Amino acid sequence: MEKLGRRQVIKAGLGLLGAAAASRFSFALGQGSQPIRIGVVLSYSGPFARLGQEITRGMELYLEKVGGQAGGRPIQLLKEDEEADPAVAVRKVRKLVEQDKVDLLAGIILSSSAYAVRDYVHERQIPTVVANAAANDITRARKSPYVFRTSISAWQQHYPMGVWVARNVGKRVFVVALDYAFGKESTAAFKESFLEAGGQVVGEVYSPLGTTDFSAVIARITASRPDAVFGVLSGSDAVIFLRQYAQFGLNRAIPLAVSGEVTDENVLEAIGEAALGAKSCDHWVYTLNNSANREFVQAYRRKYGGVPNHFAVRGYDAMQFIVDAINAVRGDVSNRRRLVEALKTAKIISPRGFVQMDPETNNATQHVYVREVVRMENFFTNRLIADLGTVRDPGK
């Protein structure tokens, strides 16, 4: 009787194990047939619509490269318009999480939008990949273990440029920037190292977003007679400023040493030769000589017919980080702890070079470059003139 009882127990145990294995197999099959839903919140209207379009192009380009899937499951992008409005961004994020049941979030153009959605995604533990917004505190004072930035911080991009300008361009600089978080934090980072290197700021102006006339600013620049102008402008503001700067003849008299946003390829498309010779700091350069960049440039030009820009690279890399993390957890995005750990330790070979997530800050560590606007064939772009090395945001 005792032996019989043991045999029955063993048989029952094997039956339970078999049932559990079958259940796990059925669950895996069920997961594999269900798409992973990624909520994408970007500006598709308003002054930053082109930025949102380019980041989306980059995301879709990388998904096309990997066959539209990760971890053995199809990827579905659900897009919502941030409308360059933090309140709208919060509303769209809530919709994606509560109604559309997305597994993770990506995108965010404005730093103010990133700040606005932070508490919501933190409290609900939604893994979120910031593909653009650069305000420092996103991964510093207001960092969350669920929020990762794959683009760059304002400090990280602009601090190295201050020293370079003081040593290679001039010691007297006029600063012009947009009057919002990214503009102020970028100029603060630039001035930090520029002043340490013996530089002097001879004038400083912060313009409202959507400024249509920079003539008063340009008059102040002319009167200050600086060695160079450091600027932080983007989109239509950058186009208008560069156009008027050339109209007043300053592009031939006072060098520009600016943020990469000012001479982004989208801006150059509208400005052309008026920006020739302008120097800028950025995490990507069209002429970077690595296989990942050559592949990206060729794929972008083949699919979209134009010249890529750093916003497309940001979308491409954000999706690469996401796909790699999903592959690491074998498609099981329901286990958010494991997915967050996979994002925290992710490393990618990017068009901008080797990039890795800093597990202490959740901010990407990467190279920063100095570029110069040149004419190539029948278009204008940026060429590499200096590699400022690998830069890590200090996280404080």
Taking the alpha carbons of 240, 242, 243, 247 in that order, is the dihedral positive or negative?
Answer: positive
The percent of residues in the chain predicted with pLDDT above 70, rounded, is 92
pLDDT at 22: 42
CATH number reported for the structural domain that contains residue 243 in this entry: 3.40.50.2300
pLDDT at 209: 85
Query: Quick one: average pLDDT of 127-139?
Result: 97
- Tokens for 154, please give them: 């304002």
- The band of 26, judged by pLDDT with boundaries at 50, 70 and 90, is very low
H or E element in which residue 71 lies: none
**Shared domain check, 276 and 160:** yes
Is residue 312, in this structure, part of any structural domain at all?
Answer: yes
- Tokens for 253, please give them: 């008299």
Query: Quick one: average pLDDT of 205-224?
Result: 95
- Asked whether the predicted pLDDT for residue 135 surpasses 50, the reply is yes
What CA–CA distance (Å, rounded) separates 157 from 133? 12
**Shared domain check, 40 and 145:** yes
- The band of 235, judged by pLDDT with boundaries at 50, 70 and 90, is confident
DSSP codes, 102-170: -SEEEE---HHHHHHHHHHHHHTT--EEESS---GGGGTTT--TTEEESS--HHHHHHHHHHHHHHHT-
Q: For residue 233, which of 206, 202, 268 has the smallest C-alpha distance?
A: 206
Is residue 11, in this structure, part of any structural domain at all?
Answer: no
**Shared domain check, 299 and 243:** no
Q: What pTM was estimated for this model as a whole?
A: 0.90
What CA–CA distance (Å, rounded) separates 303 from 298? 9
Is residue 48, in this structure, part of any structural domain at all?
Answer: yes
Is residue 1, in this structure, part of any structural domain at all?
Answer: no
| Domain span holding position 91 | 34-152+289-359
**Shared domain check, 237 and 100:** no
pLDDT at 17: 39
- The band of 288, judged by pLDDT with boundaries at 50, 70 and 90, is very high
pLDDT at 28: 42
**Shared domain check, 377 and 251:** yes
**Shared domain check, 377 and 250:** yes
Query: Quick one: average pLDDT of 248-256?
Result: 96
Strands of the chain (E only): list them: 36-42, 69-70, 73-81, 104-107, 128-130, 147-149, 172-178, 200-207, 228-232, 257-259, 279-282, 347-350, 353-358, 363-376, 379-391
**Shared domain check, 294 and 264:** no
